Amino acid sequence: MSYLEVRGLEKSYVARGRTTHVLGGVDLTVDEGEFVAVVGYSGSGKTTLVSLIAGLIAPDGGTIVLDGARVTEPGPERGIVFQQYSLLPWMTVYDNVALAVDAVNSGKRPAERRRLTDELIALVNLTPARDKRPRELSGGMRQRVAVARGLGMAPKLLLMDEPFSALDALTRATLQDELTRIWGERRCTVILITNDVDEAILLADRIYPMTPGPGAQLGAPIEVGLPRPRSRRHMSLTPAYQKARQALVDFLRSRRGAA
Amino acid sequence: MSPDAIKRIVLPGLGLVVVLVLWTVISQAVAPDLPSPARTWTESRRYVLEPFFKDGEMNQGIGRLAFYSLVRVAKGYALALLIGTPIGFLLGLSRSFHASFDPIVQFLRPISPLAWLPLGLVIFQKSEPAAIFTIALCAMWPTVINTAVGVRSISQEYLNVGRVLKLSRFKMLTKIIVPASLPYVFTGYRLSLGLAWLVIVAAEMLTGTPGVGGFLWQEYNSLVYSHIILSVVTIGAIGLLLDRLMGLVEARVKAG
């Protein structure tokens, strides 16, 4: 059995008497220490999938098992980096990260927790902005805080829901590079949800393409055969990159035609 | 003179002059009992220029009278916040509390201070606590309602952060729910203060306690009409000042 096993996940929403079938039986596995990406069009149900794995909403059918335990409610062992607007605006960078660190390290001494928090802030290169509030930060800096907070939960699985989609292209590229570096240092298990094929190939070991909704499903995963550390400059010229990209784009295009 | 100075000084000054002229015309032509601005000033001068003199219980400088009223309002207002804030949070947080008590809140809210005051006198047998009771009861509703709305409009993203971190109920309240609803709560506080000041006059008029409102009613009975105008102007000036002060506090809170 894999570290994370998602089987036959179903979810529909009912609004004003109309039922929207969002997920129609999603299967997904992730091994420990693996970086998996889920790529799909906007509105295909990616955020619903993340909310289900996080335990924030309950599925209509199917199971989620992480490290042998059934997921039934939210918890810090499944840390999340939300899309945006999730930093608490009345807290400084430090306090936002400390909220997560303190929540999962209540047994540790305050000095130790402070050290852990400062370490995370340094990891995402925000030490100079440590005492600033979110509104004083750029969008890229805010998402770095969100990443530090997600890691601060010391999660078994880190869920990232389009963490860079609201950023401009240059900032997004910088943060993607930082994320490869951070993942290289921490080696945590990650599911990255994205609509950016190149982002998925740069970061992930395996990529699941998602069919457009309603009743979205995941296609067969595509292995990214690129060696690490990866560099975006050389990556695009390699056959492994082109093969992965072609497979993803073919899948997504063919399914869109059907929808 | 810059356009900005014209807007800030000349135009408001012009408005004041228009009002003074209208007042003079009315006092001359329509209502001979209404003192003109000039007479009002001559008869009120001592109360304004020596605001803290005291000749007797009901004959005191306007500063002293205003101080009594402010102390009374402060007590009633403090009581309103003390009762209204927790009720607001409970209404916002608990569906069953909301279902039980929201109808009562909606029912009590429009009741005038004039209706509460006799009841306060019946309950407390004394005018001072009755006045404070009335102020508190009338002033607390904006705090109750805005706090409840503030709690209900907390973004789901913030609540999800708390859920993922499995924060305790207490931490959820102190770290997320209270700070997130604070801007709404302070809007409620500002509106409540305005109401508390509005109620003071009615409460003092009916109970005859020393203060701006009590003075106003006593001078009406003594036929010193210029002092009614003095009281009205004082009430307006203090009300404006209180609203501005609370506005500053509110802006501070909203800026985080």
Which residue matches tokens 């709305």? B149
Q: Which of A75, A82, A135 sits opposite B166 (nearest CB)?
A: A75
Q: What is the mean pLDDT of residues A164-173?
A: 89
Look-up of token digits 């809007």? B187
* CA of B160 vs chain A CAs: smallest distance (Å): 7
What is the mean pLDDT of the segment spanning A76-96?
91
Residue A234: pLDDT band by 50, 70, 90 thresholds?
confident
Residue A90 has pLDDT above 50, yes or no: yes
- pLDDT tens, position by position, A122-149: 999 999 999 999 999 999 999 999 999 9
pLDDT in tens, B160-203: 999 999 999 999 999 999 999 999 999 999 999 999 999 988 88
Contact check, Cβ <8 Å, B256/A85: no
At residue A259 the predicted structure's pLDDT band, cuts being 50, 70 and 90, is very low
Around Cβ B224, how many Cβ atoms within 10 Å? 15
Residue-wise pLDDT for B200-239, tens only, equals 888 888 888 888 988 888 888 888 888 899 999 999 999 9
Rounded distance, CA A144 to CA A175, Å? 8
Question: Could you read off the pLDDT of A19-34 as tens digits, one per residue?
Answer: 889 999 999 999 999 9
* Mean pLDDT value of segment B41-52: 82
Per-residue pLDDT, averaged over A68-83, amounts to 92
* Dihedral sign of CA atoms B179, B184, B190, B193 in order: negative
pLDDT tens, position by position, B1-34 = 677 877 888 888 999 999 999 999 998 888 888 8
Q: What is the percent of chain B where pLDDT is above 90? A: 55
Q: What pLDDT shows up at residue B103?
A: 94
Tell me, what's the pLDDT at B256?
A: 63
Give the per-residue pLDDT at A214. Answer: 86
Q: What is the pLDDT of residues A178-191, one digit of tens each?
A: 898 888 888 889 99
pLDDT at site A209:
94
Percent of chain A with pLDDT over 70: 98
Among candidates A74, A89, A104 on the partner chain, residue whose Cβ is nearest the Cβ of B163: A74
How far is B22 from B34, CA to CA, in rounded Å? 12
Q: Which among A71, A87, A90, A159 is the top mutation candidate for probing chain B, defined by the most B β-carbons within 10 Å of its own β-carbon? A: A90
When CB atoms are compared, the residue of B158, B171, B182 closest to A88 is B158
CB of A193 within 8 A of CB of A219? no
- In total, chain B counts a number of residues equal to 256
Selecting from A56, A76, A91 the residue whose C-beta is nearest the C-beta of B165 gives: A76
Strand partners, A192: A37, A160
CB A205 within 8 A of CB A224: yes
CB hemisphere CA count around A168 (13 angstroms): 5
Averaged pLDDT score across all residues of chain A: 90
Q: Are B219 and B228 in contact (CB under 8 A)?
A: yes
Q: Which domains does chain A have, with CATH numbers?
A: 1-74+188-259 (3.40.50.300)
Distance in Å, alpha carbon of B253 to nearest chain A alpha carbon: 10
Element (H, E) at B60: strand B59-60
Q: Closest chain A residue to B256 measured between Cα atoms?
A: A90
Q: What is the CA radius of gyration of chain A?
A: 18
pLDDT beyond 80 at A109: yes
Question: How high is the pLDDT of residue B150?
Answer: 95
Residue in B157, B163, B165 to test binding to A, most A beta-carbons within 10 Å: B165
Closest CA of chain B from A88, distance in Å: 7
- Residues of chain B with Cβ-Cβ distance to A71 below 8 Å are none
In the 8-state DSSP scheme, what is residue B97?
H
Is B141 in contact with B191 (CB distance < 8 Å)? no
Give the pLDDT band of residue A16 (cuts 50, 70, 90): confident
Instruction: Give the span between the Cα atoms of A115 and A79, in whole angstroms.
Output: 20
Is residue B57's pLDDT more than 80?
A: no
Distance between CA atoms of residues B204 and B215, nearest Å: 8
- Model confidence at B106, pLDDT cuts 50, 70, 90, reads very high
Chain B residues within an 8 Å CB radius of A85: 155, 157
Sign of the Cα torsion A46, A47, A48, A50 reads positive
* Mean pLDDT confidence for A237-247: 88
Is A218:A208 a contact under the CB 8 Å cutoff? yes
The answer, yes or no, to whether residue A257 has pLDDT greater than 60, is no
Cβ-Cβ contacts under 8 Å, A81 against chain B? none
The confidence score (pLDDT) of residue A133 equals: 94
Between the alpha carbon of residue A240 and those of residues A200, A202, A225, A235, the distances in Å are 14, 11, 6, 8
At B86-95, the pLDDT tens digits run 999 999 999 9
Closest-CA residue of chain B to A103: B165
Q: How many A-B residue pairs are in contact by the CB < 8 A criterion?
A: 52
Question: Does A99 sit within 8 Å of B157, measured CB to CB?
Answer: no
